Homo-oligomer: A and B are copies of this chain.
């Protein structure tokens, strides 16, 4: 039996329609346009293409965005002054510093300079801590997008055994916290595997739900999955492909062709988790604009 393909693009498009409707109402009733500020340092082509996709998505929803591009040689003070101006700009409700920075040692200082109320990536320690404590916070976009994708696809997380492979601060670790939380989108028993795990397959073979977030192609093979499991692939790995104009193609962490014959549902790469991530960024920016103006959270928040 071949697995149902979870179409992230379609689910994201549905969400974005609802978001666009809310943006239109905000403009009509409150003369308020949610705005996203984007900071890009250097000319990494992958970063450039992510930033462009985010700005395009903003525009499609009727949201405002502003990009500030700095040379790869920009110093810490220069980047901080751009962030600070966005912190003070009332048209900007969400600030995104595209990672990685050319000098990665600057990243933490810069992420902590974004005011938590505009931290729509959910990377600031205050938001991370509030998320972990189950308090209102901007949730990190990829984990949050996965939770909504599962819900929309009819995957029950409550009582399920979820095995996450990869312990990054951006995906694996926050997802482990959110999935294990007593909430409508969580309440799963969660096992977090990583490079220190002796035999990942022992754990994934027991899982109702496997989330691959290791950043390495071939991390999850068919023998590691039990029949009927749900498989979410967060990997976005560029591998060389001379047959493409770009010279590369994207593959996930999962051996898609083989695993889809055993799984009950599976996300493709591209077109799976990726579109959900951008959608949650837009959602957080809308949320920030609403909160900033004392309006309630969007009603479609599940």
Contact = CB atoms under 8 A, between A and B. Distances in A.
A196 interface: yes
Contact of A194 (B127, B174, B182): B182
Interface residues of A, number: 37
B191 A189 contact: yes
3 A-B pairs with least C-beta separation: A129-B129, A125-B129, A128-B129
Contacts of A129: 124-130, 132
Contact of A182 (B108, B167, B180): B167
A158 interface: yes
Interface string A57-73: 00000000000000000
Contacts of A126: 125-126, 129
Contacts of A133: 125, 128, 169
Interface string A103-130: 0000010000000000000001111111
21 contacts: A124-B129, A125-B129, A125-B130, A125-B135, A126-B129, A129-B129, A129-B132, A132-B174, A133-B169, A159-B196, A161-B198, A173-B180, A176-B180, A176-B192, A182-B195, A187-B194, A188-B196, A189-B191, A189-B194, A189-B196, A191-B191
A193 B190 CA distance: 7
A174 B133 CA distance: 10
A132 to B, nearest CB: 5
A283 interface: no
A177 interface: yes
Contacts of A177: 132, 173, 177
A256 interface: no
Contact of A198 (B128, B135, B181, B189): B189
Q: Taking each of A108, A126, A158, which has the highest tally of chain B beta carbons within 10 Å of its own beta carbon?
A: A126
